C-alpha cells in the first residue's frame, strides 16, 4: 500500500503484509524463538483502523497464516472490533505521546 488512500486491492495488501511475518517466523524458528505479535504499520495500520473490509481481510489472513500471533491495534478501531468478533487475540495499544481526535486518528 502506498501512502495515502490509494491502495492495492485489500487482498493483495494483506497478502503482502502477512507473507513477510511468515518468512520472519521461519527465520526465527531457525534461531529457536517464536514471534509474539503482528502489527500493521504506517498507512496500512491507520487505514485498517477505519475500514472494515480491510480489517476483516487482515484478520482472516492472520487466522490462516499466523493464528497464534497477537494483533496489536487500538481499542477504538474497526480492526479491534473485527478481531474480537472473529475470535482473534488482540493487544490494545495507544501512543501516549500523541493526541487523538474523536475518530481515533492520531494527530502528527
Give 10-residue mean pLDDT values along the chain (108 residues).
50 62 78 88 87 92 88 94 97 76 54
pTM summary value: 0.72
Q: Spell 27-64 as b/e; 16+ CB within 10 A means b.
A: eeeeeeeebeebebeebbbbbbbebeebbbbbbbbbee
Gap between the Cα atoms of 58 and 81, Å rounded: 13
Q: Provide the pLDDT for residue 24.
A: 77
- Coil, strand or helix at 4: coil
Q: Quick count: other Cβ atoms within 10 Å of Cβ 20?
A: 10
Helix axes 52-65, 10-30, angle to 10 degrees: 30
**Which domains does the chain possess?**
10-107 (3.20.20.370)
- Coil, strand or helix at 37: strand
Amino acid at each position: 500500500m502506498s501512502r495515502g488512500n490509494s491502495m492495492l486491492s485489500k487482498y493483495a495488501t494483506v497478502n503482502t503484509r502477512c507473507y513477510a511475518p511468515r518468512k520472519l517466523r521461519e527465520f526465527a524458528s531457525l534461531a529457536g524463538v517464536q514471534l509474539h505479535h503482528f502489527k500493521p504499520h504506517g498507512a496500512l495500520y491507520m487505514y485498517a483502523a477505519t475500514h472494515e473490509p480491510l480489517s476483516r481481510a487482515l484478520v482472516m489472513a492472520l487466522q490462516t497464516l499466523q493464528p497464534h500471533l497477537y494483533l496489536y491495534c487500538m481499542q477504538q478501531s474497526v480492526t479491534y472490533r473485527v478481531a474480537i468478533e472473529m475470535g482473534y487475540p488482540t493487544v490494545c495499544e495507544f501512543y501516549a505521546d500523541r493526541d487523538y481526535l474523536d475518530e481515533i486518528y492520531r494527530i502528527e
